[in-house]
A and B are shown apart, each in its own frame.
Chain A
Amino acid sequence: MEPRKLLPILALFIVLSLTALVWFYPTIGDFRTGNPFWNGLTTFTTDFETSTVTSYNGIPSPSKETVLIVIPYVQFTETELNKLRQYVSLGGTLVVMDDYGYGNQILSHLGLIMRFTDKPLLDPLFNYKNKWFPRITDFTQTPIAKNVTSIVLNYASSLTNTSDTTVIAWSSRFSFLDLNGNSIWDTDEPTEPQPVAAFAKVDQGYVVAVSDPSILINSMMNMDDNLNFIKNVMEIQASSPTIYVDQYHLPKTSLDEAKETIATVGELVSSPLGALSLITVILALALTPVWRKGEKNE
Chain B
Amino acid sequence: MRSLAIIFLIIIFSAATIPCISVIAEPVYPPHEDPATAQSVMDANSFLTCYTDIFTLMSLKNYANATMLIEQLKFVHIPEDLRYIIQRYNNLTLELTQILDNLEKLLNKASTLLNQYRLNETSQTLSEAGILVAKAEILLNDIQGATETLSARFGIFAAPAESKVREAYNTLQSLLQRLKQLIEDYLKLLKSIRNKTSEIQSEELKPTTVTLNLNATKVFVGEPVEASGTLTTNGEGLPNRTITLLFDDNPVATATTGLDGSYHATVATPYKYVHNMTAKALYTPLDADRGVYLASLSPPISIEVMFNETRLEITAPDEAYPGLPITVRGNVTSEGGTPLNQRRVGVFLDNNLLAYAETNHQGFLETEATLSPETPTGKHTMTIAVDPQGIYAGVSQEKTLSIVKIPSEISIHVPSLIILPAKMYVEGNASASSGPLQDATITLQLGENSTIVMTSKNGEFNATIGMPLNLIFAGFQGLRVTVEPAEPWHAPTQAKASIFVINPANLGLASAAFISIGAVLYTRLTGAKRREKEGKVLGIALPPLEKSLPTIFLKSEVKFEGVKGRILQAYVKALKIVERATAISITPQMTIREFLRETKPKLEGAANSFTELTFFAELTLYSQYVPAENVAERAEDLTRDMEGVLRRGTA
Which residues from chain A sit less than 8 Å from chain B, CB to CB? 30-31, 38-39, 57, 61-62, 64-65, 73-74, 90, 99-101, 120, 124-133, 135, 137, 150, 152, 154-155, 172, 174, 181, 213-214, 217, 219-220, 223, 235-240, 251-254, 257, 271-273, 275-276, 280, 283-284, 287, 290-291, 293-298
Contact = CB atoms under 8 A, between A and B. Distances in A.
Interface string B510-533: 100110010001001101100110
Given A128-B35, A290-B521, 18 more contacts: A30-B32, A62-B441, A62-B443, A62-B483, A73-B31, A100-B27, A100-B31, A128-B38, A131-B43, A154-B32, A174-B49, A237-B374, A238-B378, A239-B376, A251-B23, A272-B506, A298-B527, A298-B531
Contact of B39 (A124, A130, A287): A130
30 contacts: A38-B35, A38-B36, A61-B443, A62-B441, A62-B492, A99-B31, A100-B31, A124-B45, A125-B43, A125-B49, A126-B72, A126-B75, A127-B77, A129-B40, A129-B77, A130-B38, A152-B35, A172-B75, A181-B28, A214-B31, A214-B32, A219-B36, A220-B35, A252-B22, A254-B19, A257-B22, A273-B506, A283-B517, A294-B525, A294-B527
Given A240-B378, A297-B531, A100 B28 contact: yes
A150 B35 CA distance: 16
Contacts of B35: 38, 128-129, 133, 152, 154, 219-220, 223
Interface string B367-390: 000000010111100000000000
A241 B30 CA distance: 31
A62 B531 CA distance: 69
Given A30-B32, A126-B75, A174-B50, A239 B473 contact: no
Contacts of B36: 38, 219
Contacts of B513: 276, 280
Interface in B341-378: 374, 376-378
B30 A155 contact: yes
Interface in B387-426: none
Contacts of A239: 376-379
B449 to A, nearest CB: 11
Contacts of A135: 75-77
Contacts of B492: 62, 64-65
B328 interface: no
A275 B528 CA distance: 31
Closest 3 CB pairs of A and B: A239-B378, A272-B473, A294-B524
A213 B45 CA distance: 29
B32 A62 contact: no
Nearest to A131: B43
B448 A276 contact: no
B18 interface: yes
A254 B18 contact: yes
Contacts of B75: 126, 135, 137, 150, 172
B471 interface: yes
Interface in B307-355: none
Interface string B434-462: 00000001010100100000000000000
